[in-house]
Chains A and B, each alone.
Chain A
Amino acid sequence: MADYTPDEMMTIAASRALSNDDVCFVGIGAPSAACNVARLTHAPDITLIYESGTLGTRPNVLPLSIGDGELCDTAVTTVAVPEMFRYWLQGGWITIGFLGAAQLDRFGNINTTVVGDYDKPKVRLPGGGGAPEIASASQQVYITMKQSKRGFVERIDFFTSFGHGEGGDHRERLGMKTKGPNLLITDMAIWKPDPQTKEFTVTSLHPGVTREQMTETVGWEISYADAVDETPPPTAEELSVLRDLKARTDAAHRGPGG
Chain B
Amino acid sequence: MAQFVSLSDAVSECLKPGSVAAFEGFTHLIPHAAAHEAIRQGIGDLTLIRMTPDLVYDQMIGMGLVKKVIFSYAGNPGVGLLRRLRDAVENGWPNTIEIEEHSHAAMANAYEAGAAGLPFAMLRGYLGAGLKEVNPNIKSVTCPFTGEELAAIPAIRPDVSFIHAQKADRKGNVLVEGIVGVQKEAVLCAKKAVVTVEEIVDDLDAHPNACVLPHWTIHAICEVPGGAHPSYTHGYYDRDNAAYLEWDEIAADRDRFRQWMEENVLSQTPAIFAQRVAKLRKGA
Contacts and interface: CB of A to CB of B under 8 A. Distances in A.
B182 A136 contact: no
Interface in B71-119: 71-75, 77-79, 81-82, 85-86, 89-90, 101, 103-105, 108-109, 111-112
**Residue among B104, B234, B284 having the largest count of chain A Cβ atoms under 10 Å:** B104
Contact of B108 (A29, A85, A136, A253): A85
A71 B178 CA distance: 10
A224 interface: no
B279 interface: yes
A161 B145 CA distance: 28
Given A121-B89, A257-B279, A67 B179 contact: yes
Contacts of A29: 78
Contacts of B242: 253-256
B78 A28 contact: yes
A228 interface: no
Nearest to A86: B109
B134 A119 contact: yes
B124 A90 contact: yes
A110 B284 CA distance: 43
A52 B26 CA distance: 7
Contacts, number: 202
A82 B72 contact: no
A63 B78 contact: yes
Interface string A168-209: 001100111000000000000000000000000000000000
A64 B109 contact: no
Nearest to A67: B27
B86 to A, nearest CB: 5
Nearest to B88: A124
Interface in A85-114: 85-86, 89-90, 113
Nearest to B73: A129
A232 B125 CA distance: 38
B266 to A, nearest CB: 25
Contacts of B245: 64, 253-254
Nearest to B79: A64
Contact of A160 (B90, B127, B130): B130
Interface string B8-41: 0000000000000000001110000000000000
Contacts of A162: 127-129
B184 A124 contact: no
A81 B51 contact: yes
A257 B243 CA distance: 11
A89 B180 contact: no
A127 B71 contact: yes
B72 A161 contact: no
Given A52-B181, A72-B178, A125-B81, A136 B239 contact: no
B244 interface: yes
A159 B131 CA distance: 8
A133 B123 contact: yes
B204 interface: no
Given A65-B239, A80-B182, A127-B73, A132 B126 contact: yes
A22 to B, nearest CB: 21
B6 interface: no
Contacts of A65: 27, 77-78, 239, 241, 244
13 contacts: A64-B241, A90-B124, A123-B90, A126-B75, A127-B73, A128-B103, A129-B73, A133-B124, A158-B130, A176-B127, A253-B245, A256-B240, A256-B242
Interface of A: 28-29, 51-54, 63-69, 71-72, 78-82, 84-86, 89-90, 113, 118-119, 121-133, 136-137, 158-162, 165, 170-171, 174-176, 252-258
Given A53-B180, A81-B26, A175-B127, 18 more contacts: A64-B77, A65-B77, A67-B181, A69-B232, A80-B211, A86-B108, A86-B109, A123-B90, A126-B75, A127-B71, A128-B73, A129-B75, A130-B73, A170-B128, A253-B241, A256-B242, A257-B281, A258-B240
Top-7 shortest CB links A-B: A67-B27, A162-B128, A126-B75, A65-B77, A129-B73, A64-B78, A159-B130
